[in-house]
Amino acid sequence: MKRTGFGFEIVAQEGGARVARLSTPHGVVETPAFMPVATFGAVRGVSPDELAGLGAQILLANTYHLHERPGEEVVAGLGGLHGFTGWRGPWLTDSGGFQITSLGDRVTVSEQGVSFSSPLDGKRRDLSPEKAIAVQEALGPDFAVALDECGPARLVGEDEDGARRRASAALERTLRWAERCRRAHRRGDQALFGILQGGIDESLRRRSARETAALGFDAYAHGGLGLGEESALREAMVAAATRELPASAPRYLMGIGRPEDLLAAIAIGTDLFDCVLPTRNGRHGNLFTRRGVLHVRNARYRSDPRPIEEGCDCPACIRHSRAYIRHLLHGGESLGARLASLHNLRFTLRLLEDARRAIAERRFASFCSEVRAGLDEGPR
């Protein structure tokens, strides 16, 4: 990356998997890295100090939500995301396109951009590629993402040819928008991700990667995945696109958070991830462990004195029992959701720490087999 304050140095490799140092103006991120999701500028119920303690290195915020409330001018006036939120480490914002297209009937997409009626006040809003960049330049993250047209792989009642034609049209529009985003982007202290589309068609994914890379971005994100497709299919799409991307640029798979899916994507050369799963699952009492998901609300944990997971160094496991966390969640006590989120975040961040170490020691393949075997066993 040629931007001021940025770098991407690969320090270890095993097959497709790689460990790298991603330098930013706000610190170094060791990849593969997981980015906790701070939609409105906060990871729900978890403070910046706690995130640092859990080993988080970089956070993701949502462009669309911050544009709606409090507005990028407010964030910019308070020192951008770093000053406004108190998280002084690196930030990434998504383009907002995904959240807008998920508004369904409220959205119309044209060559100019996306137009939608705001769920906040019903008023019409427009987001063009240029506007998406302007909002992100004002928010001031270390990484911005180009606006893309993102849709479901298959609509209800749609046949394969129809889905492919739609994916192809979205890909072509995304390429035209990518070019506009690149031209609009001015900040030298902010790196820009190009975003890949192509639905669930390998040749389209390859083409999207080839042509987006030809435009020349600092880094690349696989978009339009993690929408319910089968893991094997998603991995085939990521692998096909990755072969067309420059090895010297970071690669980001959006919206993936299950342990087995993270490891599979790391194995094919993915460097960055984000997902709401750790916090969302935590709030529902579904806790990640190396032996699969532990549903702590179950009656069997009513008097269980053990931590969620033996050997976990998170604040929930160091101090509290399954019985207590279950009790808090059943009582609707907010501490229960917080402790569960802290555990799930630490689990995910620690999984990636272990993955980085395994790659550096060239034992990543056996590490993945061990983790998969453990996950299949089920919690005790």
Active site residues: 94, 274
Residue 311 CB, shortest distance to Zn ion, in Å, is 9
Look up residue 341 and give its two tokens: 């989120």
| Distance between CA atoms of residues 223 and 99, nearest Å | 12
98 vs 347, beta carbon nearer Zn ion: 347
Residue 101 CB, shortest distance to Zn ion, in Å, is 35
254 vs 316, beta carbon nearer Zn ion: 316
| Distance between CA atoms of residues 125 and 115, nearest Å | 6
Give me the sheet containing 27-31, strands edge to edge.
7-14, 17-24, 27-31
207 vs 343, beta carbon nearer Zn ion: 343
| Distance between CA atoms of residues 336 and 270, nearest Å | 33
219 vs 317, beta carbon nearer Zn ion: 317
Among 42, 67, 218, smallest CA distance to 145 is for: 218
**Which residue intervals of the chain are DSSP H helices?**
48-54, 63-68, 72-77, 80-85, 97-101, 129-139, 160-184, 202-215, 231-242, 259-267, 277-283, 315-319, 322-330, 334-360, 364-377
Residue 347 CB, shortest distance to Zn ion, in Å, is 6
324 vs 364, beta carbon nearer Zn ion: 324
Look up residue 154 and give its two tokens: 């298959």
Where along the sequence are the contacts to Zn ion (CB under 5 A)? 312, 314, 316-317, 343
Residue 307 CB, shortest distance to Zn ion, in Å, is 6
| Residue indicated by tokens 């640092």 | 52
Residue 361 CB, shortest distance to Zn ion, in Å, is 24
| Distance between CA atoms of residues 74 and 80, nearest Å | 8
Give the pairing of strands 33-36 and 272-275: parallel
